Amino acid sequence: MHVFIVIVGLLASILLIGVILLQSPKSGSGLTGGIASLGTVQTLGVRRTGDFLSKTTAILAAVVMLLCFIAEFTLPGRAAKSAPESILQQNVPVLPAAPAKPLPSAPVVPALPVK
């Protein structure tokens, strides 16, 4: 399931890149100028092509974000570990417990009175 979601997310992100590259920039020159020669201007019009590409960009961006969010929770082996350990904690050798040494007792000195 995780692999399927990742593959669909990659395809959606590649489509998103293509749709963004097709949009015309504010200066007026862009890859949509080349689309005009293919006949899309006659069927959709220049304004509708821009609206279609803007809506497609928003939808694909939402799909990519949603798939990334879902892919995080479908990682295999995620539920197997309850408390994650770092690599340092896993490689620490187990030392035998040493007997506790009693602390030496210090002589009790009475406090001096404050003058």
pLDDT in tens, 102-114: 767 767 777 777 7
Which amino acid, residue 54? S
Region class of 79: left (phi > 0), else alpha (psi between -120 and 50), else beta:
alpha
- The reported pTM is 0.52
The whole-number pLDDT of residue 38 equals: 55
Residue with tokens 């200066």: 27
Higher pLDDT, 108 or 28: 108
Sequence spans of domains, the chain: 50-75
Higher pLDDT, 115 or 19: 19
Structure tokens at 44: 């959709």
How far is Cα 101 from Cα 75, in angstroms, rounded to an integer?
48
Average pLDDT, the chain: 76
How far is Cα 88 from Cα 91, in angstroms, rounded to an integer?
5
Residue with tokens 């293919």: 38
Among 9-13, 17-21, 73-77, 110-114, whose mean pLDDT is lowest? 110-114
